Amino acid sequence: MGDSISAAYGMSLEEGWVALLAGRLADSHPGYQVVNASISGETSAGAAARLPALLEEHQPSVVIIELGGNDGLRGYPVTRLRDNLVSMAQRSQAAGAGVLILAMEIPPNYGSRYTKSFRESFTRVAEDTGSQLSPFMLNGVATNPELMQDDGIHPTVAAQPLLLDNVWPHLEPLLQLR
């Protein structure tokens, strides 16, 4: 479940980090199939509304939640983001899936209080739900203009393997348990 970062904005789906994840899983954990339910522009509320049907249809072992950027860029209340992420994690766990939450960051446009609260929300949700947390997946990417598209928000094709490498150490322990 994700937004444009996981929906491979500005490139083909086959070039995105989620497709690279599918390739890595085929080699390392061949029993897994990846379903990319990410939509560019998705908010946590939109994803939370879509999640029950996706859980029923796919019956996943692991759910990766990469959301929040659009909530933050729109200035939505952080409490709403947190509530939606908690709901998604709990629904996924109730369906028998392990949950990995990918922390997101936003530019400081909305002030330090909002930015800090936004950043801390991912840790809090992971702790409150017993989910696995992956730090900001664009670490080492977002501050490198060569790895970002011209909009300054979305990573390039060249950055996709780095995104996967940032997520993998936090995902792999969940795969071992399932």
Tokens 């996924």, residue located: 92
Model confidence band, residue 176 (pLDDT cutoffs 50, 70, 90): confident
Q: Are 72 and 81 in contact (CB under 8 A)?
A: yes
Q: Where are the domains of the chain?
A: 13-177
**pLDDT by residue (tens digit) across 139-149?**
999 999 999 99
Residue 67 CB burial class (10 angstroms; 0-12, 13-18, ≥19): buried
Instruction: Give me the mean pLDDT over the 34-62 stretch.
Output: 98
With left for phi above 0 and alpha for psi between -120 and 50, is residue 38 left, alpha or beta?
A: beta
**pLDDT by residue (tens digit) across 110-128?**
899 999 999 999 999 999 9
Active site residues: 4, 151, 154
CA 24, 36, 51, 167 torsion-angle sign: positive
Model confidence band, residue 178 (pLDDT cutoffs 50, 70, 90): low
- HSE value, Cβ hemisphere, 13 Å, CA-based, for 105: 15
Tokens 């490498």, residue located: 165
Model confidence band, residue 109 (pLDDT cutoffs 50, 70, 90): confident
User: For the domain with range 13-177, which CATH number is right: 3.40.50.1110, 3.20.20.150, 3.40.50.300, 3.30.70.580?
Assistant: 3.40.50.1110
- How far is 124 from 48, CA to CA, in rounded Å? 18
